[in-house]
Amino acid sequence: MNALTMPIADGWTIARRNTLKIRRSPDLLGSVITLPIVLVLLFAYVFGSVIDVPGMSYREFLLPGIFVQAVIIGAQITGYTLTLDLQKGIFDRFRSLPMAPSAVLIGQTVSDLLMNLASLVVMAVMGLIVGWRVHTSPHEAVLGFGLLLLFAYAFSWVTATVALALRTPESFNNIATMVSFPLMFVSNAFLDSSALPTPLRVVAEWNPVSTFTQAARDLFGNTSTAMKTSDAWPIQHAIPASLLWITAMLIVFVPLATRIYKQAVSS
Amino acid sequence: MSDAITAEGLVKRYGEVTALDGLSFSVPQGTVLALLGPNGAGKTTTVRVLTTLLRPDGGRATVAGCDVVGDARRLRSRIGLSGQYAAVDEHLTGAENLEMVGRLYHLGARRSKARARELLERFDLADAADRPVKGYSGGMRRRIDLAGALVADPPVLFLDEPTTGLDPRARAALWDTISELVAAGSTLLLTTQYMEEADRLADQIMVVDHGRAIARGTVDELKDQIGGNRIELTVTDAAELETARQALTRFAVGAMRTVPESLQITVPVADGPEALRQTLGRLADAGVRVRDAGLRRPTLDDVYLTLTGRQASGTDPQSREATR
């Protein structure tokens, strides 16, 4: 096995291990299956009963935002699982084996991607039940889900980096909640952000959550000409902007997470 | 016979603390070396350096012919490590855990599967093979962890406190298993806090303290180093302890140990049965009623206390021991 195939083969072995783990952990499974259902119902019926968006039903407007929210929460599983593993001896075992060191993080992020895929499927079905529809061609819809999954994968590396730097599940959860909630809510995911006061509106327009939500809306056709969309570049060019974000996250956080992993496990 | 493990002047510091202070030793192929010492002596750090988990700050070491720093990847394919805390995945079954380790040793899917079953059988875990490790007992966890170290049949094994926290029965069972491995020709480096364990499993013992070797030899050599036999006496009445101590001082060749709770005195003596006869006579003269008396060879406990008692603290061992 050479330097190129080994990380892939070993990463796959680790991903299999994580998938087995997820299947046997009711709490993780619960967050994959039930959380999306709860989110869709909660936002569709609670927010949906008081919020109007021009030119379309709120639920159609909402679902892409909920997809992005689920991805952000789902990708945090990566960080959380790593902090749990750090508390145990399993990384010592891995490091004493002749495997590719990078395989641990590759395996972790790949299995979490599979979990995010499952979660998105559940959400899409829930969305269809409550009235969400795709108005574009099938291949655009596939691209929409593909983009969400790419975002999920890249964001997994971000949460991995944070988790490996913080090391304990408690501190990771605190920081993750504190950062992800403002990110999700100061955006266009649940509301028409053009109605926000100027400083918040600017933040919302440049918030990557808005970019991904807008890209998903564009690809699923959940947009309306009656709605005033922002002139900000990342909203006007949501799909290339999303790809830029994904590329930037991978370029920065894959090497960073790998480096911090080495430090975290070798003390 | 060549050396399977060599260490020359290993140094490892954690900030102010020096965990390894120029440790040197070698382990000939097919033999067992036990590192004996209390918590914080540097045993685990030594294992972590030799298994490439930790980079030494100074010195060099080789395992199975591979340098721990320069040739880490190749080294890892030739060792097996079983740690102090069972490093297995709780959510995976015993079989899945071993199969995963096999794949990560690059044995391939089929061989990994077969090897997992073989080891589960051998470690008496066949019935539990398809249950998640979560439900295993402490002894079963240690066995599955040990099995993990053996998946690739490595020529050099590292066991870091393999029986710490186990009940006596599980410990004895694990000792049998380890003895069998050793008999099959593996080189083993073992760390332990238990004298009995080192006595039972090792060819050579190295006593470590503050990251330095303070003694090394076979079990018998270490016992000889400490000299003579031990007389162990139990008196009938607490009031007689002090009288007995005073009466026995002239026979003692080293530190006497008194345990007031059990009314016991241990006296290191120069010769055996004759010393026992004389001490008993002397105690009878002093009016001390002896309930139990015996002669024994020094245990590793005695070796260890004598060696580190003086080294670890500057106090006179005699007074330190007496307060125990």
Domain of residue B236, CATH code:
3.30.70.980
A178 Cβ neighbours under 8 A, 6+ residues apart: none
Q: Which one of A14, A92, A97 makes the best mutation probe of the B interface by having the most chain B beta carbons within 10 Å?
A: A97
Pick from A77-81, A229-233, B17-21: least confident: A229-233
Whether residue B178 sits in one domain with residue B34? yes
**What residues of B are in contact with residue A98 (Cβ under 8 Å)?**
73-74, 76-77, 104-106
Pick from B27-31, B86-90, B142-146, B199-203: least confident: B86-90
A231 vs B271, more confident: A231
Residue B78's Cβ-count burial label (10 Å; 0-12, 13-18, 19+) is middle
Q: Which of A149, A14, A24, A171 is nearest to A94 (CA)?
A: A14
A127 vs B241, more confident: A127
Cα(A191)–Cα(B147) distance, integer angstroms: 56
Respond yes or no on whether ipTM tops 0.95.
no
Q: What is the helix (H) or strand (E) element at residue A72, kind and residue range? A: helix A58-87
pLDDT for residue B318 is more than 70: no
The reported pLDDT for the residue numbered B313 is 31
The reported pLDDT for the residue numbered B106 is 94
pLDDT for residue B315 is more than 50: no
Which of B223, B255, B288 finishes a domain? Answer: B223
* Whether the Cβ atoms of residue A108 and residue A28 lie closer than 8 Å to each other: no
Whether residue B160 sits in one domain with residue B60? yes
Cα(A240)–Cα(A234) distance, integer angstroms: 8
Whether residue B190 sits in one domain with residue B52? yes
Whether residue B278 sits in one domain with residue B199? no
Q: Residue B234 — very low, low, confident or very high, per pLDDT cuts 50/70/90?
A: confident
Q: Does B233 touch chain A (CB under 8 A)?
A: no
- Residue B32: how many CA atoms within 13 Å on its side-chain side? 23
* Domain containing residue B96: CATH number: 3.40.50.300
Whether residue B206 sits in one domain with residue B135? yes
Please name the residue that has the structure tokens 């260490």: B7
* Whether the Cβ atoms of residue B207 and residue B192 lie closer than 8 Å to each other: no
pLDDT for residue B238 is more than 70: yes
Whether residue B147 sits in one domain with residue B34? yes
* Whether the Cβ atoms of residue B195 and residue B297 lie closer than 8 Å to each other: no
Cα(A216)–Cα(A20) distance, integer angstroms: 31
Asked if B74 lies within 8 A of A25 by C-beta distance, the reply is: no
Whether residue B14 sits in one domain with residue B67? yes
Count of C-beta atoms within a 10 Å radius of residue A231:
9
Nearest by CB to residue B85, choosing from A17, A89, A95, is A89
Domain count for chain B? 2
Asked if A88 lies within 8 A of B74 by C-beta distance, the reply is: no
Mean pLDDT of chain A: 92
Which of B167, B189, B223 finishes a domain? Answer: B223
Average pLDDT over residues A50-78: 91
* B229-235: strand order across its sheet: B257-259, B264-269, B229-235, B290-296
Q: Does B130 touch chain A (CB under 8 A)?
A: no
A160 vs A229, more confident: A160
Sign of the dihedral defined by the CA atoms of residues B220, B22, B211, B68, in that order:
negative
Whether residue B214 sits in one domain with residue B308? no
Asked if A93 lies within 8 A of B105 by C-beta distance, the reply is: no
Residue B15's Cβ-count burial label (10 Å; 0-12, 13-18, 19+) is exposed
Asked if A17 lies within 8 A of B92 by C-beta distance, the reply is: yes
Q: Residue B220 — very low, low, confident or very high, per pLDDT cuts 50/70/90?
A: confident
Whether residue B195 sits in one domain with residue B295? no
What percent of chain B is modeled with pLDDT above 90?
A: 48
* Whether the Cβ atoms of residue B21 and residue B211 lie closer than 8 Å to each other: yes
Average pLDDT over residues B138-164: 92
Query: Nearest residue on chain B to A265, judged by CA atoms?
Result: B53
Which of B223, B252, B267 finishes a domain? Answer: B223
Cα(B298)–Cα(B126) distance, integer angstroms: 41
For A167-182, the pLDDT digits (tens) are 999 999 999 999 999 9
Nearest by CB to residue A21, choosing from B76, B91, B106, is B91
CA distance B57 to chain A (A): 13
The reported pLDDT for the residue numbered B1 is 58
Domain count for chain A? 1
Asked if B76 lies within 8 A of A97 by C-beta distance, the reply is: yes
**What residues of A are in contact with residue B54 (Cβ under 8 Å)?**
266
Nearest by CB to residue A89, choosing from B83, B91, B92, is B83
* Residue B117 structure tokens: 């079953």
Residues forming beta bridges with residue B204, ordered by sequence position: B33
B310 vs B76, more confident: B76
- Show the domain range for A68: 5-265
* Residue A235 structure tokens: 């909203």
Residues forming beta bridges with residue B93, ordered by sequence position: B132
- Residue A214: how many CA atoms within 13 Å on its side-chain side? 30
Whether residue B56 sits in one domain with residue B175? yes
Buried b (16+ CB within 10 A) or exposed e, A69-94: bbbbbbbbbbbbbbbebbeebbbbbb
- Show the domain range for B317: 225-322
Whether residue B233 sits in one domain with residue B187? no
Residue B227's Cβ-count burial label (10 Å; 0-12, 13-18, 19+) is middle
Whether residue B141 sits in one domain with residue B61? yes
CB within 8 Å of chain A, chain B residues 5-24? none
CA distance B97 to chain A (A): 8
Phi-psi region of B203 (alpha: psi -120 to 50; beta: other; left: phi over 0): alpha
